[in-house]
Amino acid sequence: MNHLSIRLAGIGVLILAGSACYGSDPLSRPFPDRQEARKAFEPAQWKTVSDERLGGQRGGFDVGAGLSLSFGIIRSVSINGIVVAATSFILPDVTKITNEQAKLASAAIAQVTVVQNGAGNFVDSSVTAKLPSGTIIQNSLDNQTIQNLTVINASVNSMGLFKTANTQAALKDALFGSVGVR
C-alpha cells in the first residue's frame, strides 16, 4: 500500500472518530468546507452523543467491566535523522477523559505544522488558515532524508480476558483429556 493510501485511511479514521466527538454523522451530509471542519475540532463545538448512536458509529464497542482503553497520536518530522518537529497527545484512559485532556487532544489534532529546510521556502498564511490540520514540508536542499511519521497508539488492558480464556481452555483440555480416546 502506498503512502498516500495509508495517509488517506488515517485521515478517514480521524474524521470518523472526530465526528463522534461533536455529534455529527459524516455520511448524512456533504463534507463541510475547511473553516467548518476546523471549527469541528474546537471542544466548545463538541456535543454529547447518545450511547445508541455512538454504539452504531463505533460498531458496538463496549468499554466496561474494568476495561480501559488508551489512545494517542504522535506526529513527527525528521530531517537526516534529527527530529525537527513533533506533536503528540496521549489519553491514558479514554473512559475517564477530562476536559483538559480533551482540549489538549483537540489542539494537537487541529494543529498545522510547517517545516522548512533550506533557504527560500515560503508558505502563505492563508494556506495554513484553510487547513483543518496537517503538516507542510518544504525543502530546497539536495540529498536530504525527510521522514514524516504519524503513529497511532491504542491499547486495551485485556490481560484479564486472556487469563479467563486461558483458564477456560485449560479446564476444557483437562475435562476432555480425562475422558480419553476410546
pLDDT value of position 85: 92
pLDDT value of position 143: 95
Tens-digit pLDDT profile for residues 22-74? 444 444 444 455 566 666 666 676 677 776 665 555 443 455 566 667 778 88
CA distance 80 to 102: 33
Asked if residue 91 lies in contact with residue 71, where contact means CB atoms within 8 angstroms, the answer is: yes
pLDDT value of position 61: 44
Which of the residues in the chain have pLDDT under 70? 1-43, 45-46, 51-68, 158-165, 175-182
Nearest to 61 by CA among 182, 131, 178, 154: 154
Provide the grid cell at 135.
503538516
Strands, E assignment, 32-171: 69-79, 82-91, 112-117, 134-139, 146-156
